[in-house]
Amino acid sequence: MRPSDTFREVHAADIQFAQGRISSVITPSPLQYCPRLSQQYGAEIYLKREDLQDVRSYKIRGAYFGISQLTPEEREAGVVAASAGNHAQGVAYACRALGIQGKIFVPKPTPKQKRDRILVHGGDAIELVVTGNTFDEAAQAAREDAAARGATVIEPFDSRNTVVGQGTVAAEIVAQLSSMGKQLDTVLVPVGGGGLMSGVMSYVADMSPSTRVVGVEPVGASSLRAAIEAGEPVTLESIDPFVDGAAVKRIGDTPWQVFQAHKDRAEVFSCDEGAVCTEMLSLYQNEGIIAEPAGALSVAGLAQTTIKPGSTAVCIISGGNNDVLRYAEVMERSLVHRGLRHYFLVNFPQEPGQLRMFLREILGEEDDIVLFEYLKKNNRETGAALVGIELAHADDLAPLLERMDGSLIGCRRLEPGTPEYDFIVAG
C-alpha cells in the first residue's frame, strides 16, 4: 500500500506527542544566533544546530519515534532501513537503545565516515549492507529484504511517523524563539525526500501560521521542484549524489501530501552544489561548524530568499556527518562556482620556450597554475595539455581570455557541465 493511500494530516498535537516520546533520549538542539549572516542579510538569522545531536543529524528524531511506536510483535520481527547515512545512524541508535535488531542498507557513495558511525551507534544490534549507486536503489533492496523476512521498514522520510518525529525540530524552534520574545518569520529547510520540510510545515501551520517555510534542494536532485512542475511526485532519471543527505530521485508521497496541504505558505529553491560547498567552507571558517553538504543547504538558500529587514529567520543545519576526505572536492566545487578556478586545453607548439611564452604572455600576475598535465600528443607539431588556472578575482577571467585569443598558442576553455569537462576534468 502506498503511503498516500493511508494519508492522515499531521498536526501540532501529533508532534507534541512525539516530543514527549523522544525527550528521554533526544535533548533540544541549540538555536544559535549568527552575527555574520545577520549582518549580511539585515535580519536576525539563527542556526538550528541539529548537527549537534548524538548522531549529528535531525534524522534520529523520526527514526526513534517511528521505532518507539512498533508493537511487541513488530519489535520481535526486527526492522529494516535504507539511508544515505544519517537516517541509518538514527535507526542504529534506536535499535541499540530499544533492544531491537535492525538491518540497514546504504548506497555505495555513502561516505566511509557515515558507515563507520552507523556501526558505532548500532553495535551488535544492526547489520550494515552496502548496495546500489543511489539511495533509491538501496531503498528497493531494503523493501525486498523486509518483505522476505516480515520485518518493518523504518522509512527515512515517506512515513507519517517519520514526518511527525522530524516536526519536533520546528516545535523546538518556535519554543526557543518564544522564550526570547521573538516569533519565527522564515525557516529555511533542506529538502531531500521531504520528511523534515513536511514536519516543519505541519507544526507551524498550527502554531505559527504567519511563518514562511523555504525548502532548499540541490540542483542535481531537485525532486520536489520536479513534482511541483508535474503536479505529482515523479522519479528523476538521474541525480548528482554529491549532496548525499538530500540526493533523492523522488519526493516522498507522504511529504508531498503535506506539502500540497500547506503549499501556500511555502517556497522552494534549487541551489547549485558549488554554492553549497562555498557555504560549507564559510560555516567552518567563520562559525566553526562542520556541516555536511545537506547541512549547509539551508544557509546556501538564503541568497535566493527575500528576507525582510529586521525579521527573524532560522536556517536548519540538518547534519554534520562530513568525511574530511571530501574537502578537496568541496574546495574544488566552491572555487569553480565562484569563478576562481578554470580549466583549459592548451595546444603547445613542439618548440623550445613555449611554456615560458605561456607564462609570460598569457598568465596574469596574480594567476596561479594549479594543474598541468600533458595529454596524448596529437602530432609532431603540437602537444595538448590540460591546464588548471586559479584566479585571484573572478573578473580576471575576461582579460585572461583576451590574452589567450591574441596568442599564437591555441587555448580552449573547458566549460563546467559539458560532457568534455566531465570527462577530462571531473573524470
Domain boundaries, the chain: 3-57+163-332, 60-161, 339-426
Confidence at 349, pLDDT banded by 50, 70, 90 = confident
Q: Note the pLDDT tens digit of each residue in 294-348.
A: 999 999 999 999 999 999 999 999 999 888 888 999 999 999 999 999 999 999 8
Confidence at 112, pLDDT banded by 50, 70, 90 = confident
Question: Around Cβ 133, how many Cβ atoms within 10 Å?
Answer: 11
Q: Using a pLDDT cut of 70, give the percent of the chain over it.
A: 97
Which residue's C-alpha cell is 598535465?
Answer: 373
What number is the average pLDDT over the span 65-76?
Answer: 96
Question: Is residue 4 pLDDT above 60, yes or no?
Answer: no
Determine the Cα–Cα distance for residues 10 and 293; give it in Å rounded to an integer.
28
Same fold across 3-57+163-332 and 339-426: no
- In CATH terms, the fold of domain 339-426 is Alpha-Beta Plaits (3.30.70)
CA 369 vs CA 122, 351, 358, 366, 405: distances in Å: 46, 21, 11, 10, 18
Q: What is the CATH number of domain 60-161?
A: 3.40.50.1100
Are the C-beta atoms of residues 401 and 407 closer than 8 Å to each other?
Answer: no
Report which residue type is found at 129.
Answer: V
What residues are annotated to the active site? 59, 318
Confidence at 111, pLDDT banded by 50, 70, 90 = confident
Q: Note the pLDDT tens digit of each residue in 355-404.
A: 899 999 999 999 999 999 988 655 555 678 999 999 999 999 999 999 99
Q: In what helix (H) or strand (E) does residue 355 lie, and over which residues does it extend?
A: helix 354-357
Question: Is the CATH code 3.40.50.1100 the one for domain 3-57+163-332?
Answer: yes
For the whole model, what pTM was predicted?
0.90
Which residue's C-alpha cell is 527573524?
Answer: 312
Q: Note the pLDDT tens digit of each residue in 254-296.
A: 999 999 999 999 999 999 999 999 999 999 999 999 999 999 9
